[in-house]
Amino acid sequence: MANERVGNSDDLIQKLVAKLKPRDSLSADEVAALRNSVSEVRDYSARKTMVRAGDPLSSSMLLVDGFVARYKDLANGQRQIMEIHVPGDFVDLHGLLLKRLEHNVGALTSVRIALFPHSELKRITETEAHLSRMLWFSTLVDASIQRETIVSVGRRDALARIAHLLCELFVRLQVIGLADEDGFALPLTQSDLSEATGLTSVHVNRMLKTLRDESLLTFRNARVTVHDFERLKRVAEFSDDYLYLERRER
Amino acid sequence: MANERVGNSDDLIQKLVAKLKPRDSLSADEVAALRNSVSEVRDYSARKTMVRAGDPLSSSMLLVDGFVARYKDLANGQRQIMEIHVPGDFVDLHGLLLKRLEHNVGALTSVRIALFPHSELKRITETEAHLSRMLWFSTLVDASIQRETIVSVGRRDALARIAHLLCELFVRLQVIGLADEDGFALPLTQSDLSEATGLTSVHVNRMLKTLRDESLLTFRNARVTVHDFERLKRVAEFSDDYLYLERRER
DNA sequence: CGGACTGTTGAGAAATTTCAATGTTGGTGG
DNA sequence: CCACCAACATTGAAATTTCTCAACAGTCCG
């Protein structure tokens, strides 16, 4: 599964288009402009650092397959994951304007990405006002997801925090067709969840047991099975408003 | 101090320009384009809600004077502040593309804002590629600040969280000339700080006492006096990298 | 002067972490 | 195919941090 040529770029941006289309109209030309901007496809193995904080950046990565995290490491060795990315997400589009990132980006699983050179993206910002706004929009949805994480980590108790994160992933994976009725594949460890929720892995383990005992959801064998989504949403105080999934016209 | 005509718009965007100029070149035309986009100046009194979550938005607000918070309220009455804004910040520029916000925006103090109609801003995104990128950039800095808050709230203990928030405000206020050598005016309550740090106001009070006892800083009479910034930064593990203050060329 | 909000302090309760031990699983080399 | 290893998951008990509840002091404003 080595790197391959940019043959079926069609597939590469399919999940991105699946996310953008329902929210705003996207012309065939715009889809083509995106597709033509991919310079390279790259694979990373699980646990690989993809972008290190501070590195100068000259391209941005669209996640095609796998799970990616943005995270920071603290002096005492603790790690905080700020956002978990799913296929169809740009993982470091922020770097287009920031020129560097203040955080790391790492593969949680083995991962495939499509590379968009900043030169191409910059050309889009100069010539394609609408498409450019859609890219901006996608960074704003990231920001919104991150704000919801502040609420979780700041105010929700451990059980609700985990429930909320899994509700969010459920919905985000549904949008790109990677979830089914009753759950989704989630090849992460409990330690990953603890880093995303600001808890210890021991406590995540206990809370997962509670969720199981309460017949809310089961996380086992890299799969989340949701037993009662309505009740789970209530426990998490989850509403998908902050994902901005509804249509907004150009 | 009622609403006034858009006379000296010069002053209105001065803090914004003070923040943008050191980071990227900004032409006189661009400054003028911004200045001419202001449709109205508006004052809010302390504790007023300025934008309610979900409201359709048709303009964005530049904070001219005072402190503003973005926050969400939870079912149990708790509140989480996601970002505290200082003069020169757009407080809801995200709404330009999102069309609504998923959180509330409220005045922490009495506040003056300049209103930018979305029609004007949209014209900028269509005709002024560079200026448009600078607006995008400013939303990305918001996102970066919010990510740092995730780290604080997720991984730092109470003392470091408060220290970090106050370090950040110190630096952000310095940039716009609202801080002096040894501190800055901060007309917020301990309860505001607790809402921004995910703590209770009782615990914030105790931690402020510790910071005082350790000769790190004093927060009294609506003023933060920093006694030992270097040591404070160490306690907070603060680095201003995430504020993207350095120059990045167009 | 009286409220109302804000700040301060103490004591006990609750949530979460830490430390430590043990179980489970999947992959790898012999 | 099996034994073994490393990573991951699970559980208990004690320690720690933070919260809750409650009382009281200070300050500002009308």
What confidence tens digit (pLDDT) does each residue in A171-186 have? 999 999 999 999 999 9
Q: How far is the CA of B190 from the C1' of C8 (A)?
A: 12
pLDDT bin (cut points 50, 70, 90) of residue A8 is low
Whether B139 and A139 lie within 8 Å, measured CB to CB: yes
CA–CA dist A153, A161 (Å, integer): 7
Prediction pTM value: 0.96
B234 touches chain A (CB under 8 A): no
Identify which of B75, B98, B242 has the shortest CB distance to residue A140: B98
Whether any strand C atom is under 7 angstroms from the Cβ of A158: the reply reads yes
Residue B40 in tokens: 């109205």
Phi, psi (deg, nearest 5) at residue A191: -65, -40
Contact status of A23 with chain B (Cβ, < 8 Å): no
d(CA A148, CA A145): 5
What whole-number distance in Å separates Cα of residue B77 and Cα of residue B194?
Answer: 14
* pLDDT, tens digit, 9 for 90 and up, residues A15-25: 999 999 999 99
User: What mean pLDDT do residues A33-62 have?
Assistant: 96
pLDDT in the model for residue B11: 84
Contact state of A129 with B125 under an 8 Å Cβ cutoff: yes
Q: Look over chain A and give the mean of its residue pLDDT values, rounded to a whole number.
A: 95
Nearest to B61 by CA among B46, B79, B44: B44
Percent residues over pLDDT 70 in chain A = 96
Strand D contact nucleotides, protein CB < 7 Å: 7-13, 17-22, 28
For B155, which of A144, A147, A198 is closest by C-beta distance? A198
At B173, give phi and psi (nearest 5°). Answer: -75, -30
Q: In what order do the strands lie in the sheet with B68-73?
A: B49-51, B104-107, B68-73, B79-85
Banded pLDDT at A250 (limits 50, 70, 90): low
Q: Tell me what pLDDT residue A70 has.
A: 98
Q: Which nucleotide C1' is nearest A157 CA?
A: C15
State residue B3's pLDDT score: 40
The DSSP 8-state label assigned to residue A201 in this structure reads H
Q: Decide: A39 and A59 in contact? Cβ < 8 Å.
A: yes
A134-160 per-position pLDDT tens digit: 999 999 999 999 999 999 999 999 999
Q: Indicate yes or no: strand D within 7 A of the C-beta of B155.
A: no
Q: What is the pLDDT of residue A249?
A: 73
Which of A143, A151, A153 is closest, CB to CB, to B72? A151
Residue A59: band (very low, low, confident or very high) from pLDDT cuts 50, 70, 90? very high
Q: Which residue of B has its CA nearest to A132?
A: B125
Inter-chain touch B136–A97, beta carbons under 8 Å: yes
A37 contact B CB<8A? no
Instruction: Please identify which residue in the block is written with the tokens 């503003």.
Output: B68
Residues 72-91 of B with CB under 8 A from A: 72, 74-75, 78-80, 82-83
Mean pLDDT of the region A15-36: 95
CA atom of A199 to C1′ atom of C17, Å: 9
Q: What is the pLDDT of residue A1?
A: 37
Beta bridge partners of B68: B85, B107
Give the pLDDT confidence score for residue A209 in this predicted structure.
98
Q: Is A144 on the interface with B (CB under 8 A)?
A: yes
| pLDDT bracket for residue A5 (50, 70, 90) | very low
Cβ <8 Å between A197 and B154: yes
**Rounded mean pLDDT, A77-81:** 97
Mean pLDDT of A111-136: 96
Q: Which residues of chain B have pLDDT under 50?
A: 1-7
